A and B are shown apart, each in its own frame.
Chain A
Amino acid sequence: MYTKFTSDMKADHLILVPSMLPIHFKFFKPIFEKNGYHIEVLDTDNDNIREEGLAHVHNDMCYPALLVIGQFIDALKSGKYDLDHVALAITQTGGGCRASNYLSLLRKALEREGWDYIPVLSLNFSGLEKDSGVEMDLPLIMRTIYGALYGDALMWLKNQVMPYEVHKGETMRVIDEMVDELMVSFENGGYRKSKKIYRDMIDRMKAIERTKEPKIRVGIVGEIYMKYSPLGNQHLEDYLMQEGFEPVLSGVMDFVLYSIENGLIDYKYYHMHSKSWGIYQIAKDVVMRMQKTFRDAVKQDGTFVAPDDFSEVIRAGRPFIDPGVKMGEGWLLTSEVVSLIQSGVTNVIMCQPFGCLPNHIVAKGMTHKIKQEYPNANIAPIDFDPSASHVNQENRIRLMMANAKLNARMQEQN
């Protein structure tokens, strides 16, 4: 039997969370501290993580599972933590994808090391593991949503500024400052003034001196972990910038909206969740309205490109994929690719773990039709795995970049 996380552990247990989004996850600490949870986000990045992952997880399992579990084991072995007072948190999607098994795989890995006394928490919205999770009350949920939105906003702006910055490192310095300030605001309640916060963000990013040199924009979509996590995608955003491109990544709240939308679709398709259906609808409206605040602020200011409205993203995917495809990133991935292309970002990298099942359908399975519809689309599926050596992926990304440049040059000529 595995160890559960009980509420009395809150006081003296440190909860470790594997990082996925470098900016967003920084907010977790103050957000959860308020409810009495002590959190530390693991942002380690070393080869031992991969080694531990390989040794503890079936090697044919998806790469994110390997990395996340490897990161935990690596941390626990580092000697930094008091193993009697540490707990691990992991997300569970609860869908038909095998990613829902990360939790049980983590427990198996712990057992193998004789650490079965370390409790594991599940972060999910599917009602799994009800007795070993974080007790989410409404204020905590709201703070989390705000954290994610601010993270999305900062990431969105960062990618439009950093590739053009004149003084190297300035963008990250400003971002770090803002993150620090926001962290304080989560402690003192100031985080709710989102309009003001967004305006402040835009102003400060705008103030950074930038070159006028046009750069090709490259969209990154993919399996959620591979899309965002630098540990997973080998710092793809940085790499693209270094090579002279502007990366475009939609925010993580789109994924949340996708999950909510799936609840609504389940109702429409199979009359599931007939009781909670109304709540889903409300949640969707609330989140979309909150996203709109940022979008409006960006539009009003006019300096930067605003993110797509999620209902546009949904609409973009419809001619290509049925909204009933809901495992993994499901229809969201296809929709994102199409909406990127429609907004002029014709170069897209699809990041996926090697052998990812839903991606056979929603990524590689859809490119043929997307390219038929948009012949100038330049889509590169990149598989990441623990040992496919970096040069192979790099070469493929280079091919995509060379194609992007070729296409840009052709357009100029026309």
Chain B
Amino acid sequence: MYHIGFDIGSTTIKAVVLDDENNICYRSYERHKAQARQKALDKIIELRKFTKEPFTFAISGSGAIGLCEQSGLPFVQEVFASAVATKKFFPETDCAIELGGEDAKILFFRGSIEQRMNSTCAGGTGAFIDQMAQLLNMSLEEMNEASLHYHRIYPIASRCGVFAKSDIQPLINQGVDKADLCASIFQAVVGQTITSLAQGRKIEGNLLFLGGPLYFLSGLRKRFQETLKLEDEQINCPDTAIHYVALGTALCADQEFTRESIEGTLEELVNTPVEMSESKPLFETKADYDAFVARHQSHDAKYADLKSYTGKAYLGVDSGSTTTKLALIAENGDILYDSYSSNKGNPLDVVLHDLKTIYDTNPDIRIYGAYSTGYGEELMRTAFHLDGGVVETLAHYTAAKKFNPDVDYILDIGGQDIKCFKIKDGHIDDIVLNEACSSGCGSFIETFANSLGYDAKEFAKLGLKSKHPVDLGTRCTVFMNSGVKQAQKNGATVEDISAGLCRSVVKNALYKVIRARNKDDIGKHIVVQGGTFQNDSVLRSFEQELDLEVIRPSIAHLMGAYGAALYAQKLHRTPSAILNREQLENFSHTARSVACQGCSNHCSLTINTFNDGTRLIAGNKCDKMIVTKSRHEDLPDMYKIKTQMFEDIKKKYHHEKKIGMPLVLNNYDLLPFWSRFFDSLGYEIIWSKPSTQETYQRGQQTIPSDTACFPAKLVHGHIQELIDQKVDYIFYPCMTYNVDEKQSQNHYNCPVVAYYPQVIENNMDMEETKFVSPFLSFDDEKTFVKAFCLHFEKAGIKFRKHDVQIALHAGANDYKLFHEQLRLKHQDAVLYAREHNLPMAVLCGRPYHLDPLVNHQIHQLLTQLGFVVLSEESVPRQQPHTTNVLNQWTYHARLYQAAHYVCENDDMHLIQLVSFGCGIDAVTTDEVKEILKASGKFYTQIKIDEVDNLGAVRIRLRSLKGAIEQQKEEEQHVH
């Protein structure tokens, strides 16, 4: 008897036919282009040629659940199918890794079978590699080939595809070698599999690689092999790797069918109209559509002929993350030349080509100013000798004003970024950029269109015809992928998916990024722009969602470049220094990556060298390597000061006997306490070193929850470091309660800070080291001493209660002194700032944001911009204020204090660092913002994670600085 197994995934359908002896007599692997049901029917009909009746049949895969529910056909869970196939064909396997279009799965066979799939948060891996390939403009084969010849691996966030993408983008912009990029991308996939899937269980023994990406990409397998340190004979990627689930399904199939019954059932399914929740179409009637088109045509920009133009011209270049935009304008603002091109991995070539075209069309063109903006602003400026750069927020505002002088809101959705600026009284009042988690919105539509076999424009047009757009939710693209899966499962049409995706992009922007509650939150005169709004379905969804008519200039996609050109016109009065035709001819450029030796951070730098000898160094976090820029290294910086104070304390005490402690989370606050405390008891603390990427990787394998905040996940690495040093004891107490600073209703730690030692204890192998972790609270001396002594006694050290009591007081005293000192330094910094008339930034977060790997040296970025940097910890004690939220955490109460303090000081500005995944900051950010808003202050929030993408942060901070300066100028006008 024949056995047929189908595996219907998110993008593909796989089929396997087995004969009596379980020999494979047919297999196939095809894309179904969202037509899963039809394809399944076609396949069954095709199989007439290969099978005899009766046969058994079963289906597996995420795309099959709905199908089986409706039809009653037997369903086999996909991981289960893989497990069965492995037991049958490769019984010696210890572990199987299967990467699919969007799923990542891991199976452990040793002991009881354990199966894991990627959690809701982790991005799809196959789809992710596809996306990256497109970003690099390479085919998968090329990527694979290139990856084998890499020299260097760059750290790329391994948590979810979207984050990884924002890590890769700057590398591409910096011109990093493609071979290195490809290998780094594969390495990210490996990292993701290890953290989000293995979750503390070691991947070892004999490994089976399954699924398309692993089967087709030997480079990816190589990364796995090297990372997991496996011998050649330990790994196996069978030729059935891509059909594996279907194979297992065929093995599991035990229900007999006749051809007629299956074909009948499937045919019926294809013809059944699917029940859908009613949703409003984008356009009810043709007339609606025509009115819409006519209205938007009225916002067309004017063009003039480049060839015959004799006046002064101004050039703007907007070097974005995925596209490069260029505009050349005449004195009256008419556009002489414009272009919008995909970077294809090398934005310099794009601009080079455009400039040549301009010179070729009009060799006598007189360019009187050329400015660049966007991610690649510096690269463009240096490469082509442009006259200046402008922060993109300002460029967009300048352009939008040209279309509506009253504009009070600009929303720009580009390939990867969402930017919104609120304008009040002629200056930028608020800036919202998308956080790492919801980026990729525009390019997502494109990628998705391609994966369904459509061209992006064609796909967008389909949405206009949709009768029932599907609801795909408002989270990051990874979730949308699953939403589409769901819709496909329900049999939604491509039209409905297209419209649904567009609506999601809009909702994402409104509810996730801007977090608008009603239209008054947005504004009355809205200008929308960016490539994504070129898509009429997106535009229409936006107007529908807000119930407002908005302006989309015909050059919506060029606004940054147009604004930069206008800016050049405003600021530049002499002929531009831009390369002339001849210089362009000789233009060439090489990129080389090095590790900076300037300090212990060893940032990875890219050195771009141009044919005229000009060099541009990108990727640096500080100014050390760049001599041309003015140096602000020496401005007071409380983050630097506190780090130095910590270093001093660490060197202060010396004893024979040592105790290891991780420098993580609340220990960034309590270090002065514990140092003196143990000194008093005759012990020296061996603190784990400040985090590096290596620290993180060291403990990565034991992290049980990949959605915990980055500072928490780092703890594993620190503990591992101490274990590897073979310290005898690691002391890391659980602290439900924090130090009571009498500024809040209660003085809790957050659950993660309070109880992370419990996670460590249960997930890490301590080897020879003893882990001492009592529950301690500073509120009650007696129980503190008792618990401390008890736990150490169990570990083999006997302390006398009285000694501990004395140590407790000594530690508390030093802790108090430390904070007083911080406040003194704070006051010095304020004095310095006022003497030199410098703006001050109160960089707020948690004590552990002092960790260099956590804060990404944002404080240095601020000093580079000319800010004196203060911290929330060093803010002098304020009068307690009432809050609108329950104020019961010590660290968080400091935030509210800092906010009030900033309100009282005109020359201070608050910037809040928020760790991704910090649930409590969902409460604090709103409250801090409200406190600041009540006093007319800017609120700037920066979300941080393991992603090291300072590009966006820099824009953010530069815009803030621009806004502050603008505000200042206006105030001077008034007086």
Contact = CB atoms under 8 A, between A and B. Distances in A.
A301 interface: no
Interface in B586-624: none
A360 B752 contact: yes
A270 B737 contact: yes
Given A270-B737, A325-B755, 4 more contacts: A60-B921, A103-B886, A387-B472, A391-B486
Contact of A357 (B79, B83, B483, B920): B920
B115 A328 contact: no
B923 interface: yes
A104 B783 contact: no
A47 B278 CA distance: 12
Interface string A291-330: 0000000000000000000000000000011101111100
Given A54-B511, A388-B120, A108 B884 contact: yes
Interface in B66-125: 76-77, 79-80, 83, 111-115, 117, 119-121
Contact of A368 (B200, B486, B756, B782): B200
Interface stretch (B301-309, B702-710, B818-826): B702-710
B503 to A, nearest CB: 13
B759 interface: yes
A406 interface: yes
12 contacts: A58-B925, A96-B750, A96-B889, A269-B775, A327-B751, A361-B758, A388-B473, A388-B482, A389-B483, A391-B486, A399-B80, A401-B77
B148 to A, nearest CB: 34
Contacts of A367: 704
A333 B600 CA distance: 43
A268 to B, nearest CB: 8
A356 B709 CA distance: 11
A96 B922 contact: no
Contacts of B751: 96-97, 327-328, 357-358, 360-361
Interface string B737-771: 10000000010111110111011001100000000
A328 B919 CA distance: 13
A398 B65 contact: yes
A270 B486 contact: no
A389 B479 CA distance: 7
A143 interface: no
Contacts of B759: 360-361, 365
A316 to B, nearest CB: 15
Interface in A252-277: 269-272
A186 to B, nearest CB: 33
Interface of A: 47, 54-56, 58-62, 92, 95-98, 100-101, 103-105, 107-108, 112, 128, 269-272, 320-322, 324-328, 354-362, 364-369, 371, 375-376, 381, 383, 385-396, 398-399, 401-403, 406-407
A359 B755 CA distance: 11
A107 to B, nearest CB: 7
A96 B737 CA distance: 9
A282 B493 CA distance: 63
A383 B472 CA distance: 17
A238 B166 CA distance: 42
Interface in B267-286: 277
B479 A361 contact: no
A54 B475 CA distance: 11
A54 B474 contact: yes
Contact of A390 (B79, B486, B763, B925): B486
A366 B758 CA distance: 8
Contacts of B752: 357, 360-361
Nearest to B80: A402
A325 B475 contact: no
Contact of A58 (B113, B119, B515): B515
A141 B787 CA distance: 36
Contacts of A112: 517
A395 B65 contact: yes
B112 to A, nearest CB: 5
Nearest to B920: A98
B780 A399 contact: no
A100 B887 CA distance: 10
B734 interface: yes
B365 to A, nearest CB: 49
Contacts of A105: 885, 923
B758 A96 contact: no
Nearest to A384: B120
Interface string B549-584: 000000000000000000000000000000000000
B704 to A, nearest CB: 5
B762 A324 contact: no
Contact of A101 (B62, B779, B885): B885
A403 B80 contact: yes
Of residues A369, A383, A390, A401, which shows the largest number of chain B Cβ atoms within 10 Å of its Cβ?
A369
B682 interface: no
A368 B199 CA distance: 8
Nearest to A111: B884
A58 B923 contact: yes
A4 B117 CA distance: 48
Contacts of A391: 62, 65, 482, 485-486, 489
B474 A361 contact: no
Contact of B517 (A55, A97, A270, A364): A55
B777 interface: yes
Given A59-B515, A390-B486, A369 B762 contact: yes
Nearest to A390: B486
B112, B121, B511: residue with the most chain A Cβ atoms closer than 10 Å: B112
Contacts of A320: 762
B712 interface: yes
The 3 closest A-B pairs by CB, nearest first: A387-B473, A402-B77, A96-B748
Chain A CB within 10 A, most for which of B749, B755, B780, B926 = B755
Contacts of B762: 320-321, 365-366, 368-369
B967 interface: no
Given A325-B755, A357-B920, A375-B111, A387 B80 contact: no
